[in-house]
Amino acid sequence: MTNQITRTVRINADDVQPNTRRGGDIRTTLSPRTTGCTSGFGGVLTLAPGDFVTAHYHPYSEEFLHVFAGELEMTMDGTAVPLGPGDSLLVPIGVVHRLVNTGTEEARAAFHLSPLAPRPELGHVDTEEPLQPQQPHPQVGGLK
C-alpha cells in the first residue's frame, strides 16, 4: 500500500505558539498535532546572541538540524561542533546535546525529529534544568 498525500497543510511559523521552556524561540510547525503527520515533527528555532537551548536527549528520535543564519555551536556528548549558514547536523538517538548562539547576530535553524516517541512527553529527557520550568511541558506542536 502506498501512502498518498490527500491534502496540503501549510503552517506558518508566526501562527505557532513559541516554546521557550528550554531556551530560545522554538516553533514546531509540522507535527501530529498541527498536521496529522505520523512519522516525525519539525519546525524552526531562533536564538539571540548568547542564547542557548538547554542540554537534553531524545531516547526515540534522531534530530536533523540545518542552520540558515548565524553562528551556532552544538555540543554533543561533550564535543563542540561549530555550525554556520548552510551546515546540517545529525544528532543520533540518545546523544546529549546543547545548542548555543556563539555569534553576534540572531541565529536561525530548521529542525526535524524522527521517528516519533510513543507519547510526546517521552520525546525529550532534560539533562540540564529548563530555563522556564514553570512553563508546561510542550505537546508536539500547537497553533496559537
Digit-coded pLDDT (tens) for 53-101? 999 999 999 999 999 999 999 999 999 999 999 999 999 999 999 999 9
The answer to the question of residue 144 being in a domain is: no
Query: Within a domain: residue 93?
Result: yes
Q: Burial, 131: exposed, middle or buried (Cβ in 10 Å; 0-12, 13-18, 19+)?
A: middle
Read off the pTM: 0.88
What's the pLDDT at 129? 84
Q: What is the pLDDT of residue 121?
A: 85
Q: Give the domain extent around 67.
A: 24-126
Q: Is 90 inside a domain boundary?
A: yes
Residue 3 lies in a domain: no
C-alpha cell at 11: 503552517
CATH number for the domain spanning 77: value is: 2.60.120.10
- Kindly state whether residue 133 falls inside one of the protein's structural domains: no
Number of domains in the chain: 1
Tell me whether residue 105 is in a domain.
yes
76 lies in a domain?
A: yes
CB of 13 closer than 8 Å to CB of 141: no
Domain-located, residue 139: no
